[in-house]
């Protein structure tokens, strides 16, 4: 906007005095002569305002956050908290700012982040089940039974750690992330061979890790907000452990994982009109899962019609969300030209 | 053009204003009908700036916070005038029809409000 300002010119001194005229001195929020009670109330109000601003993208908050908070405090000077309509407007404004931010990126960049997120969900989901296995290996289950802690438990733990590191580092330190991804993929293969599994049974995991390593961008960092997605899935078994194993039944961790994923999918559907990347990410997960399950059936010569239907639906929805994502990105490119 | 957008632009007719002043001026001009929420105002300002109707005019620090003033561009003033003209013509259709001979022929009583 500064360049626009320079282009169009303007008498800043005159406008500043106009602005000063409109700035009511009684509303000087940080004034030293304010009543201490007012200061406390403003602190509460400001804290809530800052919380509301978390909906906005970080870049937007850095640019406009203080200005918005200043205006909000001025309009709510006689209150301890923002009005409901202010809360709603800031929430909607934050969503629109996110959408506007997406429109500044190319289709390729948006797709890259979406696919990375999908692969991260896949990696977190399957390696959370590894953690689940590790927990089973270490924790006493039921009276009179203590499962042996074998090398497979340690190998699973090491593989899960490497996979977790790959997910985090792909977002934060791509070079190290690529190395961690390669190591994790290698660990999966070693684990499969040593465990007398077929490599096809771990194809999805290797593809997920290799994809994360390959897609981690060198020149820029995707928003770390995406890490909450795999984080929810990875933490599920740990939450289960904290609650006490067996308390809610042996199959509870599995349900926790699946319900977490369904919750993410539901959020993705609702969020799609703002940002199709989440939906695309979830569909990438389902597509990779469907491919893995289909591949598992190849050695047995089975063709499950349900699996074919799942593949068809997933592929259709992935294409639809990809089209929407392209539309969200392309509009912005036109607007910026 | 939506009503809040119209009054945001109208608020800037007399000169640049900062966020809070725009909210108060829009409320005043609309007779209290348009009470802009802070989030709505900044979403509208972003959009209007993208469309070239509004520009950032000045920045100052008040009470430790950045306060920006926004002004109407020539395009914004033209768009506002065009919208006002459109609404006036739309109003004329209704008001004119109410007092026209045809309205009487149809047995309608002209509105006097």
Cα B31 to Cα A246: distance, rounded to the nearest angstrom: 65
pLDDT band at A272; cut points 50, 70, 90: confident
Measure in Å the smallest separation between the Cα of A44 and chain B Cα atoms: 17
Residue A119 CB neighbour total at 10 angstroms: 29
Is residue A39 within a helix (H) or strand (E), and if so which, with residue range? helix A36-52
Query: Which residues 11-70 of chain B have a CB within 8 Å of chain A?
Result: 15-21, 23, 37-43, 46, 49-50, 52, 55-58, 60, 62-69
Q: Read off the pLDDT of residues A8-39 as tens digits, 9 standing for 90 and up.
A: 333 333 334 434 444 443 344 444 444 555 55
Residues B67-102 as b/e (b if ≥16 CB within 10 A, e otherwise) read bbbbbbbeebeebbeeeeeeeeeeeeeeeeeeeeee
Chain B residue with the nearest C-alpha to that of A4 = B55
A237 pLDDT above the threshold of 80: no
State the complex-level ipTM: 0.80
Q: Which pLDDT belongs to residue A5?
A: 41
Cα A205 to Cα A164: distance, rounded to the nearest angstrom: 12
Chain B residue with the nearest C-alpha to that of A332 = B50
Residue the block writes with tokens 């469907």:
A290
Q: Do A1 and B15 touch (CB under 8 A)?
A: no
Chain B residue numbers touching A71 (CB-CB < 8 A): 18-20, 23, 38, 41-42
Chain B residue numbers touching A70 (CB-CB < 8 A): 19-20, 62-63, 65-67
Percent of chain A at pLDDT above 90? 3
Q: Read off the pLDDT of residues A81-133 as tens digits, 9 standing for 90 and up.
A: 788 888 999 988 888 888 777 777 788 888 888 899 999 989 988 877 777 66
Decide if A71 contacts B20 (C-beta within 8 A). yes
Decide if A130 contacts A87 (C-beta within 8 A). no
Measure in Å the smallest separation between the Cα of A332 and chain B Cα atoms: 11
Chain A residue with the nearest C-alpha to that of B24 = A75
Q: Per the structure block, which two tokens stand in for A256?
A: 């926790």
Q: Which pLDDT belongs to residue A24?
A: 40
Please give the CATH topology (third level) of the domain spanning B3-100. Arc Repressor Mutant, subunit A (1.10.10)
Domain locations in chain B?
3-100
Q: Which pLDDT belongs to residue A247?
A: 45
Number of inter-chain CB pairs under 8 A, A vs B: 123
Q: Do A18 and B64 touch (CB under 8 A)?
A: no
Q: Where are the beta strands (DSSP E) in chain A?
A: none
Q: Which pLDDT belongs to residue A218?
A: 78
Q: Which pLDDT belongs to residue B113?
A: 47
Question: What torsion do the CA atoms of A46, A52, A57, A59 make, to the nearest 10 degrees?
Answer: -10
């Amino acid at each position: 906007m500064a360049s626009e300002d320079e282009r169009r010119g303007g008498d800043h001194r005159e406008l500043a005095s106009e602005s000063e005229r409109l700035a009511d001195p009684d509303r000087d929020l940080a004034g030293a002569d304010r009543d201490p009670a007012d200061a406390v109330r403003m602190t509460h109000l400001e804290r809530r305002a800052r919380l509301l601003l978390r909906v906005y993208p970080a870049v937007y908050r850095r640019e406009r956050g203080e200005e918005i908070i200043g205006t909000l405090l001025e309009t709510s000077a006689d209150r301890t908290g923002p009005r409901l309509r202010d809360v709603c407007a800031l929430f909607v404004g934050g969503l629109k700012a996110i959408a506007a931010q997406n429109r500044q990126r190319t289709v390729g960049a948006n797709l890259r982040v979406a696919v990375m997120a999908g692969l991260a969900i896949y990696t977190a989901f399957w390696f959370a089940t590894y953690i689940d296995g590790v927990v089973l290996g270490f924790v006493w289950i039921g009276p009179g039974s203590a499962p042996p802690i074998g090398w497979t438990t340690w190998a699973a733990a090491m593989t899960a750690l490497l996979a977790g590191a790959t997910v985090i580092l792909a977002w934060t330190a791509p070079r190290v992330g690529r190395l961690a991804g390669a190591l994790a993929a290698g660990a999966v293969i070693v684990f499969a061979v040593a465990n007398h599994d077929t490599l096809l049974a771990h194809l999805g995991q290797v593809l997920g890790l290799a994809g994360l390593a390959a897609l981690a961008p060198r020149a820029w960092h995707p928003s770390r907000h995406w890490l909450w997605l795999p984080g929810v899935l990875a933490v599920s078994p740990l939450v289960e452990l904290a609650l006490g194993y067996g308390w809610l039944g042996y199959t509870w961790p599995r349900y926790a994982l699946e319900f977490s994923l369904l919750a993410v999918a539901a959020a993705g559907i609702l969020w799609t009109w703002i940002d199709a990347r989440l939906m695309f990410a979830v569909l990438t997960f389902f597509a990779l899962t469907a491919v893995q399950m289909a591949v598992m059936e190849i050695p047995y010569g089975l063709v499950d019609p349900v699996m074919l239907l799942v593949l068809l639906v997933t592929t259709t929805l992935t294409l639809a969300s990809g089209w929407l994502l392209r539309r969200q990105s392309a509009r912005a490119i036109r607007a910026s030209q | 053009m939506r009503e809040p957008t119209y009054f945001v632009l109208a608020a800037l007719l007399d000169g640049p204003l900062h966020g809070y002043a725009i909210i108060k001026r829009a409320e005043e001009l609309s007779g209290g009908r348009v009470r802009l929420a802070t989030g709505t105002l900044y979403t509208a300002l972003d959009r209007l700036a993208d469309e070239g109707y509004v520009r950032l005019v000045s920045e100052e620090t008040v009470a430790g916070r950045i306060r920006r003033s926004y002004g109407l561009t020539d395009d914004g003033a033209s768009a506002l005038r065009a919208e006002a003209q459109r609404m006036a013509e739309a109003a004329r259709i209704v008001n004119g029809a109410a007092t026209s001979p045809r309205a009487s022929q149809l047995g309608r009583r002209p509105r006097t409000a």
